[in-house]
């Protein structure tokens, strides 16, 4: 890849991080806090998807 393209890509990434940092900091401080049961509500569907993928892999073998 051209060196100038690499430099421009790096500069764009740095600028994105600089502009996104204040918004991210605000979201982390003022965002909703997790309540009891929130992790379970997120983990169960993920485990079901992982189990389904494992089932599909085992059926193909």
Total domain count, the chain: 1
For the entire predicted model, the pTM comes to 0.50
Residue 8 tokens read as 């421009």
Q: What is the rounded distance in angstroms from the CA atom of residue 39 to the CA atom of residue 52?
A: 20
Query: Between the CA atoms of 38, 44, 47 and 52, what dihedral angle is there, to the nearest 10 degrees?
Result: -140
Residue 50 tokens read as 């992982």
pLDDT of residue 37: 85
Domain range enclosing 23: 3-60
Q: What is the pLDDT of residues 3-61, one digit of tens each?
A: 999 999 999 999 999 999 999 999 999 998 888 888 889 999 999 999 999 999 999 99
pLDDT at 1 over 80: no
How far is C-alpha 61 from the geometric centre of its chain's CA atoms?
Answer: 31
């Amino acid at each position: 890849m051209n060196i100038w393209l690499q430099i421009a890509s790096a500069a764009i990434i740095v600028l994105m991080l600089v502009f996104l940092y204040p918004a991210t900091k605000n979201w982390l401080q003022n965002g909703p806090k997790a309540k009891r049961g929130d992790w379970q509500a997120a983990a169960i569907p993920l485990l079901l998807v992982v189990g389904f993928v494992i089932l599909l892999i085992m059926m193909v073998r």
